[in-house]
Chain A
């Protein structure tokens, strides 16, 4: 792409507009009907010629500033007077905290009036005569440029950086290597992934605990058409790693008519039509939670991925890339639902090592 930097025979000054700046600015050319007539004469405002009007403006500005002072006093008074939990009804805002409203409005008025006063002052009383500043070229004069370039060359020569290659190369090496220490220091930001994303708190024999009642679930607790959320037995809310474990183990249980289940494996892993799927969306990990009992569809409220729970949680619509993992369940000898093992694939969003 030499054409980007080097001189280009195809682009000459002819392609650029001929006149720029001066040609338009010169009033001298009377024969040019489009010539710049120059700045129009300044028109006086009423405040410039009528002292009465100027006085009125002064009083207006002073009045606005005074309003600001009053508003600040109002702010302090509100802070002291309104209890923090007082709720009032204000049309059309509805029920709203009195303190927040009072503080915000008084502060708003106090600030706004300072601005309004200053702007009104500037518009009515400060000179509005337009003034002209000449621009300076950003590019340096050629002499300056020459001087800088030769100074730099002199400095570079005196450093002998170009001549003493051994110094230069070892210095580059040292400077290039030293940031590695910083990179190494970042290593302990977190553990290696290993197979952490492949395992959840589910194990063979773990009971399915109802997330709402905290009781182990029996098949008869789950009605056709209902949606129940469960977690593995032994995982309690106050556990230190509860959030991290529930982020993988959260379970969604529904009861279907066994005849409605189209997927053979889903049927094998169900109990009397009760199926358990991971609640964590396989797209980017939101909890899937909107269940439509007529169609057995379940929808993720974040990005609308839709899964068919009667057909192996196949993706029907939306950005999810694969079905929700199913948990193999059955009933133990005491009549409680239990897991037959962990999920046989990673739950949640896909990742490179998922395979």
Chain B
């Protein structure tokens, strides 16, 4: 061992051709960390290109921005509910009693130079983070990128979205202003509605009766330590799996299920993705410069007996707000106990709304029984039932968002709040069904259009008059590449339960699960669920008969 090292050392000395400094540093690191084998697999890793693939990047970068600005804010924020009299730079609040949390947030906004900017970047980035995760999740959903082998990564992403919601909620509750305190009160009221243990949970969370002196400090450790810690872990796992699985790509010439076509990480995606971080950060900084978000100084410190109108949560909590606003106030009093269904039912539906979309991939894979790996992203139209389910879910979510802002809809559009509330109550059940039916039909229509295009070519808009006077529109045949792209998607055949008896006349046992799957499968892949894509025979037949045009 030592001789080998010496030999190498002396060889280097003799030749006086030392490796460049960068290489020597890399050698040093490789000897300890094994970076070369890591880099071999990843440095020139190929990533495919599509605009929708950057949605997840927006989420990733806003998360990083939130952490950077969040660390800065912890340097100035005092997570304490001690009551103090304010004597800072914001004169309208002089002499007012408030918690230290609120006072220090005022200080960040008015005494610390740049503090307001960082606060606003932090808040804007949080709103954008959640929005980006939402649309990223929808991109993955509608292209079927959640299919094997990516189901686990779908669940990781879903958990990130849910944890992001709660991190956001605990975060905007920290300044202890009138609006955020009202949100916390709402949460306390919801916890109280839990049968049997509600009052205990509330007492333990708040260290006694609401609001008490503890919740800001407790939310603080949840907001800056517990939840972001878990999220960071999930995020790293999410990214490792993206690298490990390699990115999905859309069908196209040369793009197969067994390969990935695109540009290498070094240098193209280093520059593009790295640059994109700065673009996102720059845009958020500019937004924060120009548009005020959460002006806590305009709201005043929290008092449980005061409230402002237009009390709205941040957008990602809006659907839960909608649930609580439109639910009828049912209360059942029996045997000296109260079952607060009017609050408890929304509290139960709240996670179910989210779980509905999280579970879908597993339902689909149960219906198709497809155990193969899928790396080609579907066009949404080619999976009408899935697309319709996703659109119905979005409709459901947005109906609830409307419910959460029913007062804003009423005041901005001069509508009756009662009418809006009743609309949401009905639409909660009806809208998803209507949207499901319409979306499926639209998808089928688009499939038909693709079929037409493949068989008859592209409509050029050029009208030609034939010698005998007939007018025809000239159809331009598609290129091989287009033909391939439009026919590359797979089509399943519906599962049949089969005959009720086997060949010997003995009754076959068909489980309920099998029957259900057969019905679902028919709905997915039967005549009503997809348009058969053109076959080569159909294509050639039309080719030969139209050939003389």
Q: Which residues of A contact B (CB under 8 A)?
A: 1-4, 8-11, 14-17, 19-22, 24-25, 31-40, 79, 84-85, 93, 96-97, 99-105, 107-119, 121-123, 126-128, 130-135, 137-139, 186, 189-193, 196-197, 211, 229, 231, 237-238, 240, 242-244, 246-248, 250, 279-280, 283-287, 289-290, 301-305, 315, 317-322, 348-355
Contact = CB atoms under 8 A, between A and B. Distances in A.
A137 B148 CA distance: 11
B338 A351 contact: yes
A11 B256 contact: no
Interface in B400-447: 406-407, 417-418, 421
Interface string B224-261: 00000000000000000000111000000110111111
B171 interface: no
Contact of A34 (B207, B328, B487): B487
Given A36-B484, A111-B282, A134 B259 contact: yes
Contacts of B45: 133
A123 to B, nearest CB: 8
| Closest A-B pairs by Cβ, 5 of them | A104-B289, A284-B189, A112-B282, A118-B275, A115-B278
B289 A37 contact: no
Contact of A321 (B331, B492, B496): B331
Interface stretch (B12-20, B156-164, B303-311, B387-395): B303-311
Contacts of B205: 189-190
Given A38-B254, A317-B421, A319-B324, 8 more contacts: A36-B484, A37-B481, A93-B291, A101-B289, A110-B282, A116-B279, A135-B246, A286-B311
Report the contact-size class of chain B (Cβ under 8 Å from the partner).
Answer: 35 or more
B106 interface: no
Contact of A3 (B372, B480, B511): B511
A352 B194 contact: yes
A244 B210 contact: yes
A348 B305 CA distance: 11
Contacts of B89: 84-85
A304 B483 contact: no
B487 to A, nearest CB: 4
24 contacts: A34-B487, A38-B254, A39-B261, A104-B121, A104-B289, A114-B282, A116-B279, A118-B272, A121-B271, A131-B264, A133-B246, A138-B245, A238-B97, A244-B210, A283-B329, A302-B186, A319-B328, A321-B329, A349-B340, A350-B338, A352-B195, A352-B337, A353-B337, A354-B337
B263 A131 contact: yes
Residue of A4, A20, A31, A102 with highest tally of chain B CB at under 10 A: A20
Interface of B: 44-46, 83, 89, 97, 110-111, 113-114, 116-117, 120-121, 149, 182, 185-186, 188-190, 192-200, 202-212, 214, 244-246, 253-254, 256-264, 267-268, 271-272, 274-286, 288-292, 302-311, 324-331, 333, 336-340, 342-343, 366, 368-370, 372-373, 375, 406-407, 417-418, 421, 454, 480-481, 483-484, 487-488, 490-498, 510-511, 513-514, 517-518, 521, 536, 539-540, 543
Nearest to B302: A243
Contact of A11 (B245, B285, B305, B495): B495
B540 A10 contact: no
Contacts of A290: 309
A15 B285 contact: no
A36 B253 contact: yes
A248 B497 CA distance: 62
Contacts of A128: 263, 268
Given A8-B369, A132-B260, A127 B204 contact: no
Nearest to B187: A284
Contacts of B517: 3, 10-11
Contact of A118 (B244, B274, B494): B274
B278 A186 contact: no
A8 B514 contact: yes
B488 A93 contact: no
Given A115-B277, A118-B271, A244 B209 contact: yes
A34 B480 CA distance: 7
A321 B274 CA distance: 53
A319 B511 contact: no
A17 B369 CA distance: 12
Contacts of B368: 15-16
Contacts of B292: 96
B117 A350 contact: no
A108 B264 CA distance: 29
A37 B325 contact: no
Contacts of A348: 189
Given A3-B514, A103-B289, A112 B343 contact: no
A197 B199 contact: yes
Nearest to A130: B261
Nearest to A9: B498
Residue of A9, A35, A305, A353 with highest tally of chain B CB at under 10 A: A353
Residue of B121, B200, B498 with highest tally of chain A CB at under 10 A: B200
Nearest to A82: B113
B46 A133 contact: yes
Nearest to B186: A284
A103 to B, nearest CB: 5
Given A14-B493, A108-B289, A351-B340, A247 B210 contact: yes
B338 A352 contact: yes
A186 B463 CA distance: 80
A122 B456 CA distance: 40
Nearest to A112: B282
A319 B288 CA distance: 36
B193 A317 contact: no
Given A243-B211, A303-B324, A283 B342 contact: yes
B324 A247 contact: no
Contacts of A32: 536
A280 B211 CA distance: 13
Residue of B484, B487, B513, B540 with highest tally of chain A CB at under 10 A: B484
A290 B309 CA distance: 9
Given A17-B491, A33-B536, A112-B278, A40 B481 contact: yes
A352 B421 CA distance: 27
A304 B338 contact: no
B253 A104 contact: no
Nearest to A18: B490
A286 B256 contact: no
B333 A355 contact: yes
A229 B491 CA distance: 68
B438 to A, nearest CB: 27
A186 B204 CA distance: 8
A47 B487 CA distance: 35
Given A138-B245, A301-B309, A286 B200 contact: no
A321 B289 contact: no
A107 B282 CA distance: 7
Contacts of B97: 237-238
Contacts of B210: 244, 247, 285
A15 B305 contact: no
A128 B325 CA distance: 53
Contacts of B510: 10
Contacts of B267: 122, 126
Contact of A84 (B113, B254, B343, B369): B113
Contacts of B195: 352
A250 B494 CA distance: 64
B275 A34 contact: no
A289 B278 contact: no
